[in-house]
Amino acid sequence: YRRLFAPAAMRQVPCFCTNPDKIMLTAVGPRFGAGQLADLYESLGGSVTRIGKPYTPIFDAALALAGNPDRSSVVCVGDSVEHDVAGGIGAGVATALVLSGILADTPDLAELFDSLDAYPDYTTDVFKFAD
Per-residue pLDDT tens for 2-46? 999 999 999 999 999 998 989 888 888 889 999 999 999 999 999
* Residue that wins the pLDDT comparison between 68 and 128: 68
Q: Which residues pair with 97 in a beta bridge?
A: 78, 123
Question: What predicted TM-score, i.e. pTM, was given to this entire model?
Answer: 0.80
Q: Is the pLDDT of residue 130 over 90?
A: no
Share of the chain above pLDDT 90, in %: 76
Q: Is the pLDDT of residue 121 over 90?
A: yes
Which domains, ranges and CATH numbers included, belong to the chain? 2-50 (no CATH), 56-124 (3.40.50.1000)
- Cα angle vertex 48, ends 43, 53, to 5°? 115
In sequence order, what DSSP letters do the residues of 41-58 get, joined into one string? HHHTT--EEE-STTSHHH
In the chain, the DSSP E strands lie at: 15-17, 23-26, 29-32, 48-50, 75-78, 94-98, 122-124
Rounded mean pLDDT of 102-123?
92
CA distance 90 to 31: 26
Rounded to 5 degrees, φ, ψ at 48 are: -125, 130
Q: Tens digit of pLDDT for each residue in 69-83?
A: 999 999 999 999 999
- Kindly tell me the sign of the dihedral angle through the C-alpha atoms of 87, 36, 113, 95: positive
> How high is the mean pLDDT of the chain?
93
Give the DSSP letter of residue 82: I
Distance (Å, whole) CA 84 – CA 131 = 25
Cβ–Cβ under 8 Å, residues 106 and 112: yes
